[in-house]
Each structure stands twice: as structure tokens, then as C-alpha cells.
A = this chain, B = another copy of it.
Amino acid sequence: MGGDHAPQSIIEGAALAVSRIPTIRFLMTGDEAKIRPLVEAVPSLAAKTEIIHTDVVVAPHDKPSTALKRGGKSSMRLAVNSVAEGRAGGVVSAGNTGALMAMSKFVLKTIPGVNRPAIAAIFPTQKGEVVVLDLGANVECDAENLFQFALLGDGFARAVLGVSSPRVGLLNVGAEDVKGHDTVREAAAMLKESGLPINFHGFVEGNDISAGTVDVVVTDGFTGNVLLKTSEGLAKMIGVWLKEAFTSSILTRIGFFLASRALKNMKHRMDPRTRGGALMLGLNGIVIKAHGGADAETIAYAIAEAHKIISFRLNERIIQEIRESHFNGEALSKVAKA
């Protein structure tokens, strides 16, 4: 029931996903009177879908605490519950981000060995794509959090980008070992000495994100949120300027007309909606937040992402890796001093 075009675009997206991934099955939570006719209009989808009815919906601007307190019977909460109950492998929602995070943390809890969930998304680069996390779940992070985010991001890149040995970079203000504050330096030491087969590249800088220097960029949620929103703002401004440039005279209008297909391709590459959604990683269950303005294609993409991650058994792998790493609370202080 979440997002600007629900439930239509959600159900159309699910129908697309079924046509592409025949083994997939759906639990849909929400207003059955609205959902059932749309689902039954697509027999291949109807055969794979179970509907759990509720009238309660989390509103787009509900506070996370309000949604958590009063949304116990909401479509969002029932969807998250279905993962906790083992009835679903993951949730895809285009609803209220804060509410989804609060409910997911409360209901699913973090996986063993992970202290805090992180929000990850895929950014375009000059060479392909890069996973960036945390994008805002944790405004303050210690070295152990960053170390765990690196493992989460590594697994995510293997599962979704299909990279066999992702290069993992830790975001800093310079590439040299002496740069940055204690937290990033400690996290770098942990990644170097983890004993895990993680391909740790070392420190990267802001410009390395677009340059495609690595496959995974790890940072704290404060920095990640700022860089995400700064990038969105800058891309929007450049879009406005381009439009102004192309409408400034008759000649430039003709130029724009001639180049319009190539420019549309570029716009498509920039569009975050072509990359599914943000992942809430590190929880007992996969939670994907699709864009609020998501259309059917975007929802289908987000569902495919969820399917890849669940099939990859990402969480089981992360749990195993953390168990195999040299680190636990006690070993941490030694590394920090090294």
C-alpha cells in the first residue's frame, strides 16, 4: 500500500517479476478489495500470490515512533512480520522509509555478529556500478560497525553486482594510511588483518565513488547520507542547467531535439529508480525500500534484487564470515593499537 502509485504499480511490478523469475511467490499485505481485482487480472501472478488483508496503512509522513506504536496491524508491519515468521524471505516496500527501518529493526533484529543494520544502495560509476553504505541508518559508527558494513557490502556486491571478489574501499579524506580519524584507521586495520578473503583496497576519497575505483564504498551513516543527498542535489542542478542551456535559443533547441535520444539514455543512467532501491542490510531478513515514486519497472527491479539476495543466502554467509573473522569485542582493542 506504500508509495505514490500503490497498489497498481506494486502489483504491475510483481506481475513483471513473475514473468521474469517464474519460481518467485508473493505475500501481499493490504486492502484486499483493492489488491485482489488487480492481482486476478493477471492469472500467472494470481497463481503465485497470497493476500493478507488489513485496512491499516502507514502514512508517508508518520514518524517512525508513531508507526511503530500504532501501526501494529498496518500493511507494512504485517509484511515485516511475515519475514520474522519465516513465511517470506524478504520485504519490498515503497512506503515510509523511517517507519520501515524502525519496524524492521524492532521485529527482525540484527543478524548474529552484526550490531547495527546499514542502508546500502547502488550508485552509477564511470566503469559500472558501486555499492555504497551506510546511507543514513547510523549517524555515529565505531570501527567495528564499519568493519561489519564492509562484510555486508562485500556480500551485497557479490550477490547483486555479481562480482566474484569485490574491491572494498573505506571512505576517507585521503588515500594515505595516516589520513582521517581514529575510527576509519582502526576499521582499516581490522579489514587488513581480518583473515577473511575480503579484497580490501584501503582508503578511498569522495571522487573514487564516481570514478569506479572500487566495487564497495564503506562509510558512516552521517557521511553517507550527506554524500547521497549532495549527489542527488548536484545531479538535479546539472539537469536544470542542461535544460536551460538547451532552451536558450532556436539553435540550441534544434541541437537538443537532435540529441534527445542520447540525452534520455544519460538521464536513465542517472536515475536512481533504475537501480531498484535502498537495502536495509544486516537484519534477519532482507528489506528493500523502493523509491516512493517507483513505477512497475522499478518495483520489478527491486523484487529481482531481493530475490538475488535471498537466493544468494547473503545473511547466512555474513554470519559465517563474522564467525570466521579474527575479531570479537576483545580482540578489537589490540587491532586498534596496532
Contacts and interface: CB of A to CB of B under 8 A. Distances in A.
Interface of A: 124-126, 136, 139-140, 171, 173, 179-181, 205-211, 219, 221-223, 225-238, 240-242, 244-246, 248-249, 251-252, 254-263, 265-266, 269-270
B225 A222 contact: no
A194 to B, nearest CB: 24
Contact of A237 (B126, B136, B173, B223): B126
Given A173-B136, A237-B125, A245 B230 contact: no
28 contacts: A126-B237, A139-B181, A140-B181, A171-B226, A173-B226, A181-B222, A205-B225, A206-B227, A207-B229, A208-B233, A210-B236, A211-B237, A219-B226, A222-B223, A231-B231, A234-B234, A238-B238, A238-B270, A241-B266, A242-B242, A245-B266, A246-B262, A252-B258, A252-B259, A252-B262, A255-B258, A255-B259, A255-B262
Identify the 8 closest CB pairs spanning chains A and B, nearest first. A206-B229, A255-B258, A255-B259, A207-B233, A206-B230, A210-B233, A245-B262, A210-B237
A214 B279 CA distance: 31
Contacts of A206: 225-233
Nearest to A126: B237
A263 B256 CA distance: 11
A220 to B, nearest CB: 9
Contacts of A219: 226
A233 B255 contact: no
A234 to B, nearest CB: 5
A256 B251 CA distance: 10
A231 B234 contact: yes
Given A173-B139, A180-B139, A222-B173, A233 B245 contact: no
Contacts of A248: 262
A123 to B, nearest CB: 9
Contacts of A230: 206-207, 209-210, 227, 230-231
B240 A126 contact: yes
A186 to B, nearest CB: 14
Contact of A173 (B205, B221, B260): B221
A124 to B, nearest CB: 8
B246 A259 contact: yes
A257 B205 CA distance: 35
A264 to B, nearest CB: 9
Among A179, A181, A221, max chain B CB count under 10 A is at A181
A208 B235 CA distance: 12
Nearest to A260: B255
A338 B256 CA distance: 55
Nearest to A237: B210
